[in-house]
Amino acid sequence: MSTKEKIQEDLLVDTLEQNLNEIVLYNDDVNTFDYVIDTLIYACDHTPEQAEQCSILVHYKGKCTVKTGPYEELEPRCSKLLQAGLSAEIV
């Protein structure tokens, strides 16, 4: 095994070992599509297309994972969603 292959293997293992969490956004009967889309763009740095797709999934499926990453990065984003009146949690 070459040194290059060993380094790539080590990086892959490190990536797999990171504990990733998800922000799950839940449907409600209060907020409009436009409001949810604008909030996802603001809180999760979504593109307008991503935010629209997530809002449609939330509407029809009841929930959708809107962001994945380490807990420390997700916590402030989830707080922004909650402060905006959306239903979300980190899992």
pLDDT in tens, 21-67: 999 999 999 999 999 999 999 999 999 999 999 999 999 999 999 99
Conformational region of residue 47, where left means phi above 0, alpha means psi within -120 to 50, and beta covers everything else: beta
When comparing pLDDT for 8 and 16, which is higher? 8
DSSP 84: T
How many Cα atoms within 13 Å fall on the side-chain side of residue 56?
6
